[in-house]
Structures are given as structure tokens and as C-alpha cells.
Structure 1
Amino acid sequence: MAGFLKNIVNKISGYEEYDVYDEELEPQEDIGYEEEPVDPPSYGRQNPFRARQNRVVDIKTGNGSQVVVLQPADIDTAKAVSNHVRAGRTVICNFEKVDPKVAQRVVDFITGAAFALDGQVSPVSNSIFVIVPRSVSLLQGAGENESALDYLRHVKGTQHG
């Protein structure tokens, strides 16, 4: 009776008994795989720094900084100034021979672009500005703490007054 119940349980659970055969496996054909010979490790005197020599990376001594001098007379040139600052170059803008209204628009554009790029704009004189990217530190003289915006407000106030 136990065998009968065992057969019913096996059929319900999906378990089938298989006959186990003890047969020897036939040798399979060689598929042509060949192992590459491995050189045995040498235990002679080695330079302990030799393994590290391949990890050395050349460091350039110069930082490759460039300074661009422009005389922006229109908005297209102001865009070029912004592209130079984006590329990591310092730009000096000379507005001496530019119409003051155009110069004001260009300076506004450049100041906004420098702000957006985390750069800095600083006046050198009434008509010359320096624009530096975020990777460049701009140090001003001891008595010259006036920011570019303060300078622009001052210039704008003197034009209307």
C-alpha cells in the first residue's frame, strides 16, 4: 500500500523516478584547445620600483594659460569673448574706440556670461575690462576693491548726471 500512495503522490507532484545507470563515459574528441605556456615566475633580484614605473603619468609643467585681447564693437564679438572665457582663456576687452551705448550693451552681455560661467569681470580703467574664467584667480590692488558692477553703476551715473 505504501508503494501505491508513493506512486500517486509522485504523479501529483510531477516527480518521476528515473532509473540510475552506471555507465562509463566515452572519451570525447579533442576540440583543438591548446593552453599557452606560462613562464614560471623568476625569484631573482628584482628592482622593487620597476613595477611602479609603468604607473607614472607625465605632468605638464606649464598650465597653457592664454590671454586674449579684443576690442568688442558688437554683440557677435561679445559672444566670442564668452566663448574664450568658456574655453578657460583670460580676455582683456578694450572699449576705447567703441560707441558708449554699444559698449554698455556688450559689457552687460559679457558680465552676464561671466556670471553664468562662474567667471569674474574687473575694470582696469574707464574703458578696459578683464574677464577671467573660474580657473583663474584675479587679484586686485590694495586700494582697488571696487567690483565691476559698482564701476558700471558709477559710469552709468556720471553719463546721466
Structure 2
Amino acid sequence: MGVMDGLWRWLGVEREEVREEIIELPAYSEENQRGPTNVVSIHSNKTFKVVVCEPESFDEVQVLADHLKSRKQLILNFDNTPPEVSQRIIDFISGTTYSLEGHSQQLGKNIFIFTPSNVEIAKDHRSLMRKHGFANPFGGEK
């Protein structure tokens, strides 16, 4: 006991003895590393595939639906497809897209895009404004 211990007691502070305990942790092994982890790579090189197709018959819809199921985007051009076949293909692929919670949009007169749920189709607001006559709200040339 020293002077400091007496001072601490006089102030009403009791000192506890500090005891060190050494706890051994299990050694590193492969078994410890196999558990589930919540680590997500920030630098993923995931590439999105786009399939561009000009279907000629309804027989091709199964292959097109399989592309959507494997999370690939579809761009379908129906310029050279008979209208009744085009409508059947669009109906089938639209149903597939809906069941996979995907998205679809008409890009042109006979061009459509169908995407899986992990791809969102964003609309360009400028083209929507031009379509509805609001190209230059502040005047000037159109």
C-alpha cells in the first residue's frame, strides 16, 4: 500500500485488483470458414446480356422465353414478321415477362424490349416532352 492507495480510499474510490485471463481461441481451420458470410463484393464484373432477334415464326418463342428466364434482355424486331404471328409472340413473351416480374416497352413501330426483373427500363423525359409538344417550353426553334 502506498500513498496513492490511501488517497484513493480517502476519496471513496476503491481500487480493484486487475487480473488477466488468457482465453485461447480456436485455431484457424477450413471448417471455421465454411459458415455463411454476409460479405458482398463491391467490384462485381457482372455483365448483362442483350439478345436481339427477328423472329419469323411462333416456334421460336420457347427459346426467347428461355433467354428471359436466364435473365437476359430481349429486343425483338417484328419488321419482317407477319402481324398475326407478331401478336402471338408478343402475347407469349409479355406473359413470360409478367410471370418473371420483368418489364417491357415498345421502342418503335415494330420493335419491343423485354427485360428480367433485375433490369429497369428508364424513359427519357426529353423524348416524352417532345412527343407531347413541350420540346421547347421557353420558346425558340423546335
Q: TM-score range with shorter-chain normalisation?
A: 0.5 to 0.7
* In 2, Cα distance between equivalents of 1:100 and 1:89: 25
Q: Deviations over 1:63-94 (max 9, x none)?
A: 12101101122222122111111101011001
User: CA–CA distance in 1 between the matches of 2:49 and 2:101?
Assistant: 18
Q: Per-residue CA shift, 1:45-73, capped at 9, x if unaligned?
A: xxxxxxx9xx8x78352212101101122
RMSD, aligned CA: 2.5
Quick one: which of 106, 116, 136 aligns to 2:89?
106
Q: What TM-score results when the alignment is normalised by the length of structure 1? A: 0.51
- Structure 2, unaligned runs of 5 or more: 1-23, 25-32, 130-142
Percent identical: 26
What's the TM-score once normalised by structure 2's chain length?
Answer: 0.58
Q: Rg bigger for which structure?
A: 1
Question: Aligned match of 1:128 in 107, 111, 130?
Answer: 111
User: 1:100 and 1:90 mapped to 2: Cα distance?
Assistant: 23
Matching residue of 1:8: none
> 102, 109, 119: which is aligned to 2:102?
119
Aligned to 1:150: none
